[in-house]
Amino acid sequence: MARFTFWLKVIVPLGLLIILVGFWLNWTLARPVGQVSIYGEVQYADLDKLQERSLPWLDDAFWRIDLKGLKTSLEQDPWLREVVVNRVWPDQIRLELVERIPWAHWNKRHLIDEQGKGFNPGFEYTKELNRHIYSKKDTLAEAVNFWLDLDALLQKSNLRLTELHHEQRGAWQLELNTSIRVLVGRDNIVNRVNRFLWAWQHWLEAEAVNLASVDLRYPNGLSVAWHKSALLNIKE
């Protein structure tokens, strides 16, 4: 009898504890999301659409929220480069939004961010970025790298690249801040650009206002085209 009483004193409190823990776990695991905290500066992303994308994923118990699914859904917004999603005890979902920063225009209607990734802004982006790249989607990374290398080289001669065209057959065409068009072609790019820079430093810069274009697609030389006004002055 004494042994039965002993086990009764042990088992009953333990059973009650297990029941209470079960209720607590059930309440905790079934607890809905109480708060969604958003961090990060957002200028262009559509907050209404972000909320619309979020709601289906948040309509579940706090501990059952599919964080990966929520992240993937939000990152469908073209302006969001990255979304970091975390649970914060006891019922908060924390969203950190990293928005893309436009770096250049791409094929007129699209943009390129500072990481060199092209995206469709979803509306007409009218702010002038002074950088325009025209290329196919599968050669965009090559065009961005070409721009960065070339622009750094041009700036040493007080020139700046404003437009870059990567044509269908692989040829490159440049537009400089002096409104001069430069036809580079697709072969011996480094040699041709260096040839242009040498000519620029020695005589082309002095004629910059009269220059319309420079053609570097020659084995050992270049040709220039003059503005009509410059040709009229020469004839006179």
pLDDT 10s digits, 50-67: 999 999 999 888 888 999
Cα 75 from Cα 69, distance rounded (Å):
10
> Which letter, b or e, does each residue of 190-216 get, where b requires 16 or more Cβ atoms within 10 Å of its Cβ?
eebbebbbebbeeebeeeeeebebbbb
- At 235 the pLDDT is 46
Query: Top-level CATH class of 103-235?
Result: alpha beta
CA distance 33 to 43: 26
Alpha-carbon gap, residue 10 to 183, rounded angstroms: 91
Q: Which residues 6+ apart lie within 8 Å of 204 measured at CB? A: 196, 211, 214, 224
- What's this model's pTM, rounded to 2 decimal places? 0.83
CATH number corresponding to 33-99 = 3.10.20.310
| Tokens coding 205 | 């810069």
Strand pairing class (132-134; 161-166): parallel
- pLDDT tens digits for range 131-187: 999 999 999 999 999 999 999 999 999 999 999 999 988 999 999 998 899 999 999
Sign of CA dihedral 128, 132, 137, 142: negative
Domain ranges of the chain: 33-99, 103-235
